[in-house]
Amino acid sequence: MSEQNTSAIAGPVLIIGSGLLGASVGLGLRAQGAKVFVSDVSPTVEAVAQDIGAGISVRAEAARHGSSETQPAKVLTEQPQLVVVAAPPDVTAALVIEALEDFPEATVIDIASVKGPILHEVLASGVDASRYVGTHPMAGRERSGPVAARGELFTSRPFVICRHDAARAESVRLAQTLGVELGSTITYLSVEEHDRSVALISHVPQVMSSLLASRLQETPLYALGLAGQGLRDTVRIAASDPGLWIQILSANAEPVVQTLYGVRDDLERLIATLENPTAPGARLDIAQLMSEGNAGVARIPGKHGGSPTAFAHLTVLVDDTPGQIARLLHEIGELGVNLEDLRLEHSPGQPVGMAELAVNPNEHDKLVQDLTSAGWKVVR
Amino acid sequence: MSEQNTSAIAGPVLIIGSGLLGASVGLGLRAQGAKVFVSDVSPTVEAVAQDIGAGISVRAEAARHGSSETQPAKVLTEQPQLVVVAAPPDVTAALVIEALEDFPEATVIDIASVKGPILHEVLASGVDASRYVGTHPMAGRERSGPVAARGELFTSRPFVICRHDAARAESVRLAQTLGVELGSTITYLSVEEHDRSVALISHVPQVMSSLLASRLQETPLYALGLAGQGLRDTVRIAASDPGLWIQILSANAEPVVQTLYGVRDDLERLIATLENPTAPGARLDIAQLMSEGNAGVARIPGKHGGSPTAFAHLTVLVDDTPGQIARLLHEIGELGVNLEDLRLEHSPGQPVGMAELAVNPNEHDKLVQDLTSAGWKVVR
């Protein structure tokens, strides 16, 4: 961590809410040398955020001046240039409004994962909203709290900025600077575009994964023992925190439910088809659902924004012993081949697995040849 | 490939249907030195299977005797000890019945992914079903045809054997020998247990993934550009072949639809909740769905059959350059640490990624320390 301030944000930054995301923002900005204060409703969370280097605790700053004050506005002697509200969605708007009132010169940014309801509440409050900009750094972890924070959490991840008509250019620029300093990829969307987008790419997938995983509650264990990678991948995000998702789904209910209507229609149609699977047209109905799924998944951009089908795949059989995969990847690296993707596949109770590798198509054949020559069990 | 017959299957094996799965069975048995014949309704598929070493083409064998016959029963001079029917589900029962009639000494096994309807058709046909055993080697690839075949396809994968009351012990033993020679893990289930199990762990996940992916058809591209690993994992299997899934879902419609009723009920409840997200009890309803998802996913056994929560995770920041991941894994191997799982995470348009590693909990802290000392950017 550099002590020199190379940050483009000259003034102090105040982070309100110093859990996983707030503390990660703090760590990211501190790494650029910015002066950061952290504040949290929980004294412990605030203290841990300071301990891991995310910024100066507002309570600690107060104590330095012999005060037991906990409100940033009453503690900070220097006005923050930027306030980042990194609190749960259901309290975000209130904290944004309070910060706009407390710090009449500061730009106030929030990073909650739903944007429309917050903007509307801020605008409706009558506060000076020209200094408010909503953002959504699209990253998270399956754990929470400042202990899980890391400065690189937002590196290479999309950072959505939701401009609004009342926002001043200077505040929007500051939001962009924040995204850049966190190493993110900036995208500008309206709050409506943002909320509809995350409904489709994040909130409905979460619902579908949870709906499916819920069915596993009564599945016999012998059946679960047969589970392969398909099931594991499909239900992975069903392990997410219910507390957070209550807030997200409540706040973004309308775009989510609009998409779920489409799911319900397709599901009703499939159920009717499967209730009478030998009826004329039944097979065509199933084919149509499957083909529509094919068409949908094909539209997701691949890594590096490339076409999802642009890579060639090969599979290598690996023993499950220390260093085996390393040795494989070392040899691939020695051959100068860049691995575009890697997936390990295992089965319960067995010490052998498959490494599925994705590479550029023009490197595929030679790699298969070279690895085979080197004694690896390679399959296309 | 050994030319010495170390296979426990002494007599010839006839494989009917030499696509991906049939040719993979052939390759696996040939690797043990068994004598294998391959047959397919398509002359090309049969010829390719022979070319890749999966066995002797029945048509080629006929030609060797100056005949243009294609029916195995009219070509083979030696009776097969084992016939493996590896055909699409909708023709499997007919081929099993024909093989039982053609080869009155042979054990006939099928490997289709739905078992009840096939057994019932075989029993109802009046043929001698005591030599029939249904099996399901639970493996597959996203590609098809004998070119994609590999002898290790079933290695470490579950191999379900569905005994039935009329099956003779000798034939069941032969099915088990086949599974063992393919390197699989044997599981005995009734056809009902099997079909209900695969509905839950394979067919319904496929349906849910396709239903979700179908929604992406009209998603704006800017929204898809924000997609993270959660969406990608959830819709991965939606890229599967519609032709195969028409057959699977038709054949196993009843257990699938029973599970989909539960999905529909939960979905209806969630839609009603999200239509009125501020109503009393709405948040509790969402919490319940999410928690049920948590409970379901927690029941899936981890790799090696261990508890799904038994591993500790750490994340390492890696540049997307050749050899970076290799170097990382090499160092992990040098430290004697066995990697339990590995996931690469990337974002479109960016050259940096995260490697999420899973290790035994007692190796976690030291590994974090050692990798950090070695200059890696490690986060818990």
Distance (Å, whole) CA A291 – CA B202: 18
Q: What's the confidence (pLDDT) of residue A349? A: 44
pLDDT at position A179 over 80: yes
Cβ contact A338–B326 (<8 Å) = no
Confidence band, pLDDT 50/70/90 cuts, at residue A356: confident
Residue A144 burial by Cβ neighbours in a 10 Å radius (0-12, 13-18, 19+): middle
- Residue range B216-225: mean pLDDT, rounded: 91
Place of tokens 């399956």: A142
Q: What residue in B sits closest to A349 (Cα-Cα)?
A: B304
Which helix (H) or strand (E) element contains residue A59? helix A58-64
- Residue range B151-174: mean pLDDT, rounded: 94
What share of chain A in percent tops pLDDT 90?
Answer: 65
Per-residue model confidence as pLDDT tens digits over A264-278 = 999 999 999 999 999
Shortest distance between the Cα of B10 and any Cα of chain A, in A, equals 27
Cα angle value B104/B110/B112 (rounded, 5°): 160
Q: What residue in A sits closest to B155 (Cα-Cα)?
A: A352
Q: What's the confidence (pLDDT) of residue B2? A: 42
- Residue range B54-73: mean pLDDT, rounded: 95
Confidence band, pLDDT 50/70/90 cuts, at residue B1: very low
Tell me phi and psi for residue A283, to 5 degrees: -65, -35
Using left for φ > 0, alpha for ψ between -120 and 50, and beta otherwise, residue B33 falls in left
pLDDT at position B66 over 90: yes
Q: What residue in B sits closest to A24 (Cα-Cα)?
A: B379
User: Helix, strand, or coil here: B318?
Assistant: strand
Mean pLDDT score of chain A: 88
DSSP A202: I
Q: Pick the residue with more confidence: A378 or B261? A: B261
pLDDT at position A309 over 60: no
**Helices B253-275 and B204-215, packing angle to 10 deg:** 40
CA-based radius of gyration for chain A: 25
Place of tokens 């995260």: B354
DSSP string, A195-242: HHHHIIIIIHHHHHHHHHHHHGGG--HHHHTT--HHHHHHHGGGGS-H
Contact list in A for residue B330 (CB cut-off 8 A) is 323, 326-327, 329-330
pLDDT at position A135 over 80: yes
Cβ contact A201–B183 (<8 Å) = no
ipTM value, please give it: 0.79
Per-residue model confidence as pLDDT tens digits over A244-302 = 899 999 999 999 999 999 999 999 999 999 999 999 999 999 999 999 999 999 998 86
Query: What are the CA-CA distances from residue A262 to residues A251, A296, B33, B212 (Å)?
Result: 20, 14, 54, 9
Q: Which of B196, B213, B297 sits opposite A235 (nearest CB)?
A: B297
Would strands B158-162 and A132-137 be described as parallel, antiparallel, or unpaired? unpaired
Q: Which of B150, B156, B211 sits opposite A266 (nearest CB)?
A: B211
CB of B289 closer than 8 Å to CB of A292: no
pLDDT at position B160 over 90: yes
Q: What residue in B sits closest to A218 (Cα-Cα)?
A: B296
Per-residue model confidence as pLDDT tens digits over B253-275 = 999 999 999 999 999 999 999 99
B38: which strand partners? B15, B57
- Residue range A40-57: mean pLDDT, rounded: 93
Q: What's the confidence (pLDDT) of residue A348? A: 44
Confidence band, pLDDT 50/70/90 cuts, at residue B321: low
Confidence band, pLDDT 50/70/90 cuts, at residue A332: confident
Q: What's the confidence (pLDDT) of residue A372? A: 87
Residue from A70, A122, A68, A135 nearest A94 by CA: A122
Tokens describing residue A221? 């264990």
Lowest mean pLDDT among A158-172, B141-155, B178-192: B141-155
- Where do the domains of chain B lie, and which CATH numbers do they carry? 13-189 (3.40.50.720), 196-297 (1.10.3660.10), 305-379 (3.30.70.260)
Tell me phi and psi for residue B57, to 5 degrees: -65, 130
Cβ contact A219–B380 (<8 Å) = no
Shortest distance between the Cα of A55 and any Cα of chain B, in A, equals 18
CA atoms within 13 A of residue B81's CA, in its CB half-sphere:
17
Distance (Å, whole) CA A337 – CA A352: 24
Q: What's the confidence (pLDDT) of residue B374? A: 87
pLDDT at position B322 over 70: no
Distance (Å, whole) CA A135 – CA A117: 13
Tokens describing residue A325? 């995969």
CA atoms within 13 A of residue B280's CA, in its CB half-sphere:
0
Cα angle value B283/B285/B289 (rounded, 5°): 115
pLDDT at position B125 over 90: yes
Cβ contact B339–A325 (<8 Å) = yes
Contact list in A for residue B196 (CB cut-off 8 A) is 223
- Residue range B292-305: mean pLDDT, rounded: 80
Contact list in B for residue A180 (CB cut-off 8 A) is none
End-to-end CA distance of chain B: 45
Distance (Å, whole) CA B16 – CA A236: 38
Q: What residue in A sits closest to B139 (Cα-Cα)?
A: A228
DSSP B239: G
Residue from A82, A104, A69 nearest A57 by CA: A69
Q: Which of A160, A286, A296 sits opposite B245 (nearest CB)?
A: A286
Cβ contact A267–B211 (<8 Å) = yes
DSSP string, B57-108: EHHHHHHHTT-----HHHH-SS--SEEEE-S-HHHHHHHHHHHHHH-TT-EE
Cβ contact A138–B231 (<8 Å) = no
CB of A345 closer than 8 Å to CB of B362: no
pLDDT at position A304 over 70: no
Cβ contact A301–B227 (<8 Å) = yes
Q: What's the confidence (pLDDT) of residue A380? A: 55
Cβ contact B233–A238 (<8 Å) = no
CA-based radius of gyration for chain B: 25
Q: Pick the residue with more confidence: B210 or A351? A: B210
Q: What's the confidence (pLDDT) of residue A347? A: 45
pLDDT at position A70 over 80: yes
Q: What's the confidence (pLDDT) of residue A334? A: 81
Confidence band, pLDDT 50/70/90 cuts, at residue B363: confident
Shortest distance between the Cα of A164 and any Cα of chain B, in A, equals 18
Q: What's the confidence (pLDDT) of residue A350? A: 44
Tokens describing residue B3? 């030319």
